[in-house]
Amino acid sequence: MNMLSKIGLRSAGASSQVIMARGVATTPTLQAKKCNNAGSKNIVLVDGVRTPFLMSGTDYKSLMPHDLQRYAMIGLVNKLGLDKSLVDYICMGTVIQEVKTSNIAREAALGAGFSDRIPAHTVTMACISSNQAITTCLGLMNAGVYDVCVAGGVEFMSDVPIRHSRKMRQLLMKVPKAKTLGAKLSLLGEIRPDFLAPELPAIAEFSTNETMGHSADRLAATFGVTRKEQDDFARRSHQMAADARDKGYLDDIVPVKVPKGKDFITTDNGIRVSSEEQMAKLKPAFIKPHGTVTAANSSYLTDGASACLLMTEEKAKQLGLAPKAYLRAYTYVSQDPKDQLLLGPTYATPKVLEQAGLELKDIDVLEYHEAFAGQILANVNAMDSDSFAQNTMGLKKKVGTIDMSKFNLWGGSLSIGHPFGATGVRLAMHTANRMIREDGQFGLIAACAAGGQGVGMIMERHPDAKI
């Protein structure tokens, strides 16, 4: 029996009637739990784009976050020749919010020329924020509320908000309430040197006060991932990203021209293939002197934005569009944010596979978020461990052995970059485009996120898909 017959997804085209059950969109023959939801529909990813991902403090540094998101949305419109009036709803993800544009989806949409009649809202779920934007739109469309949505996200690490200390903030809040000049001056006279120390944002867990780098170091040690293995994987990521770029595979990028910039920015600027010797010279970045996580085997602070067009398959047919993929299943997971902070992929992978009625061997394209080389390799080891599956996850058997010949073949967050709010769409587009180029049917996305959370998503190549 071939794979299509086994899972009951033969010819998943226009005739497929889709059922939505606990985050899984599947054909009736897929033996998923049935849900009597009259609004359940086939939802497709038509296409998506992203700005070039740049290291923070480089060519985007004079912009604001909504500028980058606007560029991505305009790029999507131009790439597809999209009539903006067709869009029913917009949802974008971001993590470190600019206070002036707290609902960045709305501000970017207006700046990109979308009608002020189109509602827009912003979601945040750490590194999986644009995954959440995508699935938020899926839920709305499956409920029959909308037919056409734009999802995406942005992160701008070149200019993060820096606050006054709490003492200084409290004092400054009192000043406008003082009724006389003398009273105002008296308040200002209360300022002490320690009031002036700013509060800098940190990539640390609020509940544990531990940075992700420390967690990655401990996770790598727990699952026996060596420094050399981490460096080798990071070098693989950069080499594969460079190869994909040189072959023209990273065609989800739309050029960006910043104000006063001489030329269009067309490529990611963090892809750098270093030698084994160069990487070995770097000192541990977090746990010193014996840690194994370094700047070279970690993702870096990145500026970038993404956007994608989602719609019901029926609407896509009406418009004569050729979608790239079906969005078949998704799930979110969460674990202990201290000891299992970065194990989201290990928990999400078996759950989303079970929802879709698939096994790991049925997946043709694997796209996992690379926060740290140690993190991703620890997840690979955890999924291949019967002991961890049975004793910690409560499963009967291990998730399975990851086939690295299917894994992140165009590089990943270590090399391409990781704008927290934008990476989810980048993962979705790499999955869709790889399925087309590699003649695969199913793709699996998985990612960890702050708070011990994670996401798993299943996509299926659409029969009309084109590059």
Residue range 127-167, pLDDT digits in tens: 999 999 999 999 999 999 999 999 999 999 999 988 899 99
pLDDT band at 32 (very low <50, low <70, confident <90, very high): very low
On whether both 179 and 106 belong to a single domain, the answer is no
On whether both 186 and 110 belong to a single domain, the answer is no
| C-alpha–C-alpha distance, residues 71 and 133, integer Å | 18
pLDDT of residue 37: 28
Q: Write 211-214 long-range contacts (CB < 8 A, 24+).
A: 211/286, 212/341, 212/342, 212/371, 212/372, 212/450, 213/285, 213/286, 213/293, 213/298, 213/372, 214/286, 214/287
pLDDT band at 85 (very low <50, low <70, confident <90, very high): very high
Is the pLDDT at 399 greater than 60? The verdict is: yes
Closest C-alpha to 286, from 376, 372, 384: 372
Catalytic annotation on 137? no
| C-alpha–C-alpha distance, residues 193 and 186, integer Å | 16
| C-alpha–C-alpha distance, residues 429 and 422, integer Å | 11
pLDDT of residue 260: 86
How confident is the prediction for the chain on average, in pLDDT? 91
On whether both 69 and 187 belong to a single domain, the answer is no
On whether both 14 and 61 belong to a single domain, the answer is yes
Mean pLDDT of 25-36: 34
| C-alpha–C-alpha distance, residues 40 and 18, integer Å | 6
Residue range 202-253, pLDDT digits in tens: 778 888 989 999 999 999 999 999 999 999 999 999 999 999 999 999 999 9
Is the pLDDT at 93 greater than 50? The verdict is: yes
Specify if 252 maps to a domain. no
pLDDT of residue 263: 94
Catalytic annotation on 127? yes
Mean pLDDT of 192-205: 85
For 284, phi and psi rounded to 5 degrees?
A: -55, 140
Written as six digits, the tokens of 111 are 């700046």
| % pLDDT > 70, the chain | 92
pLDDT band at 22 (very low <50, low <70, confident <90, very high): very low
Q: At what angle do helices 129-142 and 423-437 cross, to 10 degrees?
A: 70
Is the pLDDT at 447 greater than 70? The verdict is: yes
| C-alpha–C-alpha distance, residues 445 and 430, integer Å | 10
Q: Which domain holds residue 172?
A: 166-196
On whether both 99 and 180 belong to a single domain, the answer is no
| C-alpha–C-alpha distance, residues 387 and 432, integer Å | 33
Is the pLDDT at 3 greater than 70? The verdict is: no
Q: Which of 91, 127, 137, 308 is catalytic?
A: 127
Specify if 312 maps to a domain. yes
Mean pLDDT of 251-257: 97
pLDDT of residue 70: 98
On whether both 101 and 136 belong to a single domain, the answer is yes
Mean pLDDT of 412-440: 98
| C-alpha–C-alpha distance, residues 203 and 185, integer Å | 37
User: CA 41, 46, 47 angle in degrees (round to 5)?
Assistant: 150
On whether both 330 and 356 belong to a single domain, the answer is yes
Is the pLDDT at 342 greater than 50? The verdict is: yes
Which residue, of 150, 176, 196, is where some domain finishes? 196
On whether both 47 and 185 belong to a single domain, the answer is no
| C-alpha–C-alpha distance, residues 462 and 312, integer Å | 13
Is the pLDDT at 4 greater than 50? The verdict is: no
pLDDT of residue 14: 33
- What is the Cα gyration radius of the chain? 23
pLDDT of residue 140: 97
Specify if 391 maps to a domain. yes
**Contact by Cβ (8 Å): 196, 165:** yes
Residue range 272-330, pLDDT digits in tens: 999 999 999 999 999 999 999 999 999 999 999 999 999 999 999 999 999 999 999 99
Is the pLDDT at 21 greater than 60? The verdict is: no
Other Cβ atoms less than 10 A from the Cβ of 441: the count is 17
Specify if 224 maps to a domain. no
Instruction: Kindly report the three-state secondary structure assignment for every residue of the chain.
Output: CCHHHHHCCCCCCCCCCCEEECCEEECHHHCCCCCCCCCCCCEEEEEEEECCCEECCCCCCCCCHHHHHHHHHHHHHHHHCCCHHHCCEEEEECCCCCHHHCCHHHHHHHHCCCCCCCCEEEECECECHHHHHHHHHHHHHHCCCCCEEEEEEEECCCCCCCECCHHHHHHHHHHHHCCCHHHHHHHHCCCCHHHHCCECCCCECCCCCCEHHHHHHHHHHHCCCCHHHHHHHHHHHHHHHHHHHHCCCCCCECCECCCCCCCCECCCCCCCCCCHHHHHCCCCCCCCCCCCCCHHHECCEEEEEEEEEEEEHHHHHHHCCCCCEEEEEEEEEECCCCCCCCCHHHHHHHHHHHHHCCCHHHCCEEEECCCEHHHHHHHHHHHCCHHHHHHCCCCCCCCCCCCHHHECECECHHHHCECCCCHHHHHHHHHHHHHHHCCCCEEEEEEEECCCEEEEEEEEECCCCCC
Q: The domain spanning residue 125 has which CATH number?
A: 3.40.47.10
User: CA 427, 432, 436 angle in degrees (round to 5)?
Assistant: 145
Higher per-residue confidence, 438 vs 466? 438
| Structural domains of the chain, count | 2
Mean pLDDT of 21-31: 39
On whether both 29 and 8 belong to a single domain, the answer is yes
Mean pLDDT of 87-114: 96
pLDDT of residue 39: 37
Which residue, of 196, 215, 243, is where some domain finishes? 196
Specify if 242 maps to a domain. no
